[in-house]
Structures are given as structure tokens and as C-alpha cells.
Amino acid sequence: MATVGRKKGAVKTGGRTKGTPNKSTAEIKELAQTYSAKALETLATIMRNSDNDTARIAAAKELLDRGYGKVTQPMEVSGPGGGPIPVHRVELVGLE
């Protein structure tokens, strides 16, 4: 049976090196950043002047997320009824 990819422990060759951004993603990000100041001004205007409370709250939230980062959401992982996560064992036989 042939192995797929490189062997365990082999040095990676080719492709982008770790930390090198994707060029198309970098271009889109750069273009979007040219609108950052105007976008923040628009959000602030909506927050201050909108008659719609939902729009004001959304604009305020977006400004806070950009200024301080999004709040992390706690996540609890458990099984049915809050109990432990069930473990299933699968055994394959006759595959030689």
C-alpha cells in the first residue's frame, strides 16, 4: 500500500511557510482596511443618532468588538442530561 503525503518526521518542502499570509487574502484585507476609519465613523453615527434601538445596540457592539476584541464565549461540553460523554468503541474484523 502506498503512503500518502510525506513520511512522519520528514521535513516539509514546498508551499507557504508558516506565518506567510495568503496573497489574495492579504489584498482583500488591505483593501478593507482603507475603509476602516469611515466604517467606524458610520457605526458611531448610527450608535449616536439612530431611532432604532436594535441598530444602536448593534453599532455599539461592533465598535466595542473592534476596540477591545470579542468576548470569549464559555462552552460546556457534556453528554446527554449533563452526564459524561459516551465513548463508543468500533472494532473492525476481517479486514486483512
For 62-79, how does the pLDDT look when each residue is reduced to its tens digit (9 = 90+)? 998 888 888 888 887 888
**Cα–Cα dist 31/80, whole Å:** 47
Q: What's residue 48's pLDDT?
A: 95
**Please, which pLDDT band fits residue 4 given cuts at 50, 70 and 90?**
low
Return the domain boundaries, the chain: 42-71
For 43-66, how does the pLDDT look when each residue is reduced to its tens digit (9 = 90+)? 999 999 999 999 999 999 999 888
For 16-40, how does the pLDDT look when each residue is reduced to its tens digit (9 = 90+)? 777 777 777 888 888 888 988 899 9
